[in-house]
Structure 1
Amino acid sequence: MLPQSLSDHTLLSLLREGDEQAFRALYDRYWYKMYVIAHRKLRRKEVAEELAQELFVMLWQKRDSLRVINLPAFLGVSLRNLMIDYIRRHMQEEHYLDQLRQFFPDEGFATIEAVQLNELTEALQQALAQLPDKTREVFILNRFEHLTIREIAQRLNLSEKAIEYHLSRSTGFLRRNLRDFAAAWVLFYLL
């Protein structure tokens, strides 16, 4: 029987056993729905894609311990939590920028933003250089050339699952490394 025709309950049972086809069937069944919900709430395509992707990475990583009765409800609640975390982080960043604007005149702040952009670009390039070649290539194709997972898979002759893995790995790595950079920059200007 094809995995697409199986019930959520059956697919979840197979997923707990590490069945990648079951995961793929669940991903195909629910990813777009989760993306649409996130996009409707946040109105940012890239963020909605990233959060929907994070949701399924979490589903795969926690597959052994999942005891889900209603998968759509579980995914909806988990996505809501990811969106809340994103909004909190975003609001915190906006708060820091508002605080900085109070200390610097508008024309001075434009200079500071230009310096910050240059420093961030340099930090991003250094962080990207630390990634394995294939992971870096997948990230650049997705984030800078705006190719979809399917387009990257075709171009690099890899599975879509492999592309998703590389994207998850690169965004997690960059998020951890650039978070420290951004926090240090904010602290420097607030002190």
Structure 2
Amino acid sequence: MSLQSLTDQELLDLLRHQDHEQAFRELYERYWYKMYLTAYRKLRRREVAEELAQELFMMLWQKRATIRGTNLPAFLGISLRNLMIDYIRKNIREEHYLTQLRLFFPEEVFATTEAVQHNELSEAIQKALGQLPEKTREIFILNRFEHLTIKEIAERLNLSDKTIEYHLSRSTSFLRQNLRDFVTSLVLFYLS
């Protein structure tokens, strides 16, 4: 049976009642890019838009058994809006804390601390990247460090744009999860 011919509601039913991964993939392919574009238009930050779109679909998978209603685009749009609001609120607080910290520390102390933290963060990123599957790691490095677009990576590796998006989403999600403790410790350091 071709899932492309099914309606959103039929795919949601498969997802809800059978944990149907192919139904999830079809919904992902239908809506991920739209959600990414929506987030990008509002926030004007590609990496953040990618992360929020990925987080949205992780949430869809996690809440698959409890999602009710028939209007998936509305559900995704409202959920994405809430994720963007949370992101903006969090960033406003972080920017405020950093501004306040800079008032209490001499610039030299901040520069030295930032250099040490940059080295520690680089090491943490390298360690986390080493845990990714080879293809996912390669795609992440081409995108984030060599600044190639999804289309450029797809052409270079002879893969589809969707495959590249999948690997980027997977790597971003993995790194966010694995670097969360590192970032938390940095914030606690500054607040102590």
TM range (shorter): 0.7 to 0.9
Change (3 A) 1:115 1:36: same
Question: Could you report, residue by residue, the CA deviation over 1:123-144 in whole angstroms, capped at 9, with x for unpaired residues?
Answer: 2122223334344333323322
Question: Could you report, residue by residue, the CA deviation over 1:133-165 in whole angstroms, capped at 9, with x for unpaired residues?
Answer: 344333323322344556656655677776555
Question: Could you report, residue by residue, the CA deviation over 1:66-104 in whole angstroms, capped at 9, with x for unpaired residues?
Answer: 323211110011111221222233223223312320122
Could you tell me how far apart the structure 1 residues matched to 2:84 and 2:121 are? 24
One-letter code of the match for 1:126? K
Aligned residues: 190
Partner of 1:13: 13
Partner of 1:86: 87
Question: What is the RMSD of the two structures over their aligned residues, measured on CA atoms?
Answer: 3.1
TM-score, normalized by length of structure 1? Answer: 0.76
Partner of 2:49: 48
One-letter code of the match for 1:172? S
One-letter code of the match for 1:142? N
TM-score, normalized by length of structure 2? Answer: 0.76
1:138 aligns to 2:142 (yes or no): no
Identity of aligned residues (%): 74
Change (3 A) 1:165 1:27: closer
The question of whether the paired residues in 2 share the 8 Å contact of 1:96 and 1:186 is answered with: no
Gaps of 5+ in 2: none
Gaps of 5+ in 1: none
